[in-house]
Structure 1
């Protein structure tokens, strides 16, 4: 009697049909949730993701890995890829991946809430990727992420630092250098235009600014909180310009610094003769603004390359554990800072 070639073949893992059966949906719906190509009702998507998690189902991972040994792809997830830090870090990740003959899959988190981060990370980690890079997941707690234990992961500035291998910019040293520069010019205090309260880098910069003034026994002015945009710098700058004591402002990023400079100019205040302005990031425009901006340079190129190195180390069995790489910053002195003039 002819033998059935399928008889006795051991099932290597749950199938798409198993997920569909548990979730009470069609296999086509499971495929749509896996790829994210077509919209699915929120309650249906939640059932499918829960079924995948219960069964340990990873779409196409087993078959492709057996065939090729790896997928040759790194996943990158972030909120607002167009924002300066995210864009420059992602550009460097893509460059470093291409140098290793790897491709990159990007997934944007539409709204920066924990459920959106959780779903995005889960969906991307269960697709055909070898490693996952998470950029500034500031609203997500590590205990809420369901990442496969075998997945190589690296994170940049976020609440996930300490739980996964991480790359961070030396925010504290950059701020100390900025404050030392401004106070060394003779300013008796420095106002701070901070980033949003849900940003870890912004919180570190604000805390270091405050500590730098307190250690010198200087007055700590009220903190002004923006949202990283030039518009917020401009709007807050209109109010800051009315402060008679203002002679120096440390801005948490360059874009807010540009907005502030415009507001000061419109109020008849000169930079740096009346007010010194110092930014953070050293984006390309900083050296070509009028006047050129004094700022703290973040090396986004190195940050992106280190993120790729960390996940490759894990893939090549050089275990990274909870490694933390700190990338140094550099103060770039240009023409928006000077001794107090009013």
Structure 2
């Protein structure tokens, strides 16, 4: 949720697009996109812009020439950092889409883009220490507390710069804005879809129980299932010692024993919730080994809508699209706003997800 920001605007003069941007707590470019009907703006952000337009009585009758419209970061040095992540994690389709959204938006805004991959966080690179930077866009590993592993001079350097974390903010980080998926809504969409199709005994399979994003989705899913009278059996991996760089779940052995626990539950679940498509793809493989058919013997719903991982799986996976590329684009808009409002409180922007229906969830209501 956004922290409320109150601005004193002089309404005796005709409102400008900059006034709308300040009141809505967005960049001028975002206002332009909303008014132009461009779809890559979250519903929450678009509504704030429309509310600001109405409150100020803004009417874009005259075309104003503004460097801010489309070239807000001209000649600005912006660094994109990947922190504490193994290449397997950085190459996940959702992460890659978020990075692509960041890079394409920075290019359109005219920024000079620098990319640093810091998988170990054990030192401050000389180039990062000496380079003149105007802002940071950061994607970091979300498991454990990376501050415990990071070099202090590196963290001090990051704290000095206007920062936007995208696709989540790690534990222990108390500075910078964040643009992320609305994980409460992700869990709600998954839970209510299963309930609508008659599934009230469900299992939650989570091999990374101390992961920030997966944990938020799982908690929301469990709560919403309970609100509809259902029951969730949580089957999670053990919290283990972790080290940098963090890797993705890419081995069937990591979910094999968890699936066995699900199948041995006394009250057998009719459906399974996987908080990420990378986990769901491994579950499909494990079920195939056991002669189980997803959508018939066990229903499944997942999260992220990572098409490269889902292509070739049958039946097609029902998943929740977190709109990762849009998150990357919105992160750039937030950095532009932050550079214009350096003293404003930190802000969290949540991008609304959407359900993508496949064939992996049986409709038990039709069988009654």
TM-score (norm 1): 0.68
Q: Is the 8 A contact 1:195 1:252 kept in 2?
A: no
1:282 aligns with 2:298: no
Q: Which has the higher contact order (CA 8 A, sep 6+)?
A: 2
- Match of residue 193 from structure 1: 205
Pairing partner for 1:237 from 255, 259, 263 = 259
- Match of residue 146 from structure 2: 140
- Match of residue 38 from structure 1: none
Query: For 1:126 and 1:215, how far apart are their aligned partners in 2?
Result: 53
Map 1:38-49; keep pairs closer than 5 Å: none
1:256 aligns with 2:266: no
Pairing partner for 2:116 from 81, 91, 107 = 107
Q: Secondary structure of 1:221's match?
A: strand
Query: For 1:216 and 1:120, how far apart are their aligned partners in 2?
Result: 50
- Name structure 2 gaps, 5 residues minimum: 1-73, 239-247
Query: For 1:272 and 1:72, how far apart are their aligned partners in 2?
Result: 50
1:213-241 deviations in Å (ceiling 9; x for gaps)? 33344333132339643633455335534
Query: For 1:187 and 1:298, how far apart are their aligned partners in 2?
Result: 23
Cα RMSD, aligned residues only: 3.1
Quickly say closer, same or farther: Cα 1:294–1:287, change in 2 above 3 A: farther
The alignment of Structure 1 onto Structure 2 pairs a total of residues equal to 269
Q: Is the 8 A contact 1:130 1:151 kept in 2?
A: yes
1:312 aligns with 2:316: no
Query: For 1:187 and 1:331, how far apart are their aligned partners in 2?
Result: 17
Map 1:285-304; keep pairs closer than 5 Å: 285=308, 286=310, 288-304=312-328
- Name structure 1 gaps, 5 residues minimum: 1-68
1:73 aligns with 2:78: yes
Map 1:1-342; keep pairs closer than 5 Å: 72-78=77-83, 79-80=85-86, 81-111=90-120, 116=121, 119-120=123-124, 124=128, 126-138=130-142, 139-141=145-147, 145-147=155-157, 151-156=161-166, 157-158=168-169, 159=171, 163-194=175-206, 196-225=208-237, 228-229=249-250, 231=252, 232-234=254-256, 236-243=258-265, 245-285=268-308, 286=310, 288-317=312-341, 321-340=345-364
1:74-97 deviations in Å (ceiling 9; x for gaps)? 232332322333322112111111
Query: For 2:356 and 2:333, how far apart are their aligned partners in 1?
Result: 27
TM-score (norm 2): 0.64
Bigger CA radius of gyration: 1
Give the CA deviation at 1:122.
Answer: 9.3
Query: For 2:173 and 2:126, how far apart are their aligned partners in 1?
Result: 18
Q: Is the 8 A contact 1:89 1:301 kept in 2?
A: yes
Q: Is the 8 A contact 1:237 1:261 kept in 2?
A: no
Give the CA deviation at 1:324.
Answer: 1.6
Q: Is the 8 A contact 1:224 1:236 kept in 2?
A: yes
